[in-house]
């Protein structure tokens, strides 16, 4: 089964599992590095890690136009349902078999989750996806470093997508290196940096450090670039 990961800049991720299209934290409008507009985004499923505006982003408009199912924590799923959208609520530690694309588990994240209208967005999450053919993809969401990344790593991660080097709002480069040591993924893609001057970082310098100190491979993507997971 072909699985392709795409980084759309900031924390906006695309995953194609077989023929099914997932979008994570779709933030195109107002995102200075987005390679496409919200009107061009395609999705069957939209996953939202937490309530902040740079993650909820264009989810509502894209879900409506694509007839997509929104998957998030109970509070955020309910917020979208109130807007008349289809949603599926999960919560931290809980997994569910979404037959088209795999088993999706919500993981801890250390962050906030207030919604753009000030509504209560519950606790922030990350996602651990096991595709139908067994690939494990961990999308950490906005988070600081936490020791339970060791437990997530025990599952055997093929690809970890972490906000490693942005700093200020999430882990910075040093803690992100420690995260990779706990997660032990085969490959890592850094995100949530170079969107604005406040979170400017050098991903190539980070790659050099991580690959010197761990056996994980760091793949530095430009917004709009993809990584095929079927090598």
User: Residues in the chain, how many?
Assistant: 231
**Are 157 and 186 in contact, with CB atoms under 8 Å apart?**
yes
Specify the stretch interacting with Ni ion by CB under 5 A; choose among 134-142, 146-154, 172-180, 221-229: 134-142
Tell me if 126 sits within 8 A of 106, measured CB to CB.
yes
Return the residue of 142, 145, 159, 175 that touches Mn ion, per CB under 5 A. Answer: 142
The answer to whether the beta carbons of residues 204 and 198 sit under 8 Å apart is: no
| Binder among 142, 157, 166, 187 for Ni ion (CB under 5 A) | 142
Site string for Mn ion, 143-182 (x = CB under 5 A): ----------------------------------------
Q: Least distance (Å) from Ni ion to the CB of residue 142?
A: 4
Residue 10 binds Ni ion (CB under 5 A): no
Site for Mn ion in 34-73 (CB under 5 A): 54
DSSP of 142-192:
S----TTHHHHHTT--SEEEE--S--TTS--HHHHHHHHHHH--SEEEE-S
Q: How many residues bind Mn ion (CB under 5 A)?
A: 2
Residues that bind Mn ion (CB under 5 A): 54, 142
Residues that bind Ni ion (CB under 5 A): 52, 142
């Amino acid at each position: 089964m072909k699985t392709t990961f795409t980084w759309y800049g900031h924390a906006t991720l695309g995953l194609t599992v077989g023929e099914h299209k997932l979008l994570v934290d779709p933030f195109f409008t107002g995102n200075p590095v987005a390679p496409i507009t919200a009107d061009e985004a395609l999705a069957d499923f939209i996953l939202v890690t937490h309530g902040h505006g740079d993650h909820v982003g264009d989810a509502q408009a894209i879900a409506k136009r694509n007839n997509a199912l929104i998957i998030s924590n109970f509070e955020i799923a309910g917020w979208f349902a109130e807007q008349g959208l289809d949603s599926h609520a999960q919560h931290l530690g809980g997994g569910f078999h979404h037959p088209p694309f795999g088993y999706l588990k919500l993981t801890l994240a250390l962050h906030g989750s207030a919604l753009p209208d000030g509504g209560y967005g519950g606790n922030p999450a990350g996602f651990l996806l096991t595709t139908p053919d067994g690939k494990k993809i961990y999308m950490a969401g906005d988070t600081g470093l936490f020791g339970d990344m060791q437990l997530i790593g025990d599952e055997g991660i093929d690809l970890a997508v972490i906000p490693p080097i942005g700093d200020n709002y999430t882990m910075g480069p040093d803690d992100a290196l420690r995260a990779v040591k706990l997660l032990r993924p085969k490959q890592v893609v850094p995100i949530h940096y170079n969107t604005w001057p406040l979170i400017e970082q050098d991903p190539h310098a980070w790659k050099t450090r991580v690959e010197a100190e761990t056996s994980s491979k760091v793949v530095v993507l430009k917004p709009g670039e993809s990584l095929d997971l079927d090598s």
